[in-house]
Amino acid sequence: MSPSEPVLATYFSELVHVRAVLHAQSLHKVEASWREPGDVDLRFMLEQVTAKDDVEGFRLTTAGQRLAAEASPRDRLDALHNRLQAFFHDVLSEHAKKEWTLTLPAVVQ
């Protein structure tokens, strides 16, 4: 993967496509956050970065927060973890999953 590829269109599913930058020549940063039913806040961030030795690539960040307080802290953490596992799998395109040989973790199947 290089910064010149249409990285969003190639490696990420329609779930996180932003039409304005879908086939951009260069992607700097795409970020979105929202609240899902069940009081789960999710965040998706993809940004171009330069690592040591001027190697260019992308940083993908997913994050979440569960706001509901009716369950124990451990149960809330487990539910959030499971949601983030599925979310990560959902944001990747089928092309990316095949290229990187990724499979869905057993906990969310």
- pTM of the predicted model, to two decimals? 0.77
Each residue's pLDDT tens digit, 63-92: 998 776 677 888 888 888 988 999 999 999
Long-range (24+ apart) CB contacts under 8 A made by 86-91 are 87/42, 87/62, 88/62, 90/13, 90/15, 91/12, 91/13, 91/15, 91/16, 91/44, 91/62
pLDDT confidence of 5, banded at 50, 70, 90?
low
For residue 104, name the pLDDT band (cuts at 50, 70, 90).
Answer: low
The pLDDT assigned to 13 comes to: 94
pLDDT tens digits, one per residue of 16-49 = 999 888 888 888 999 999 998 878 899 999 999 9
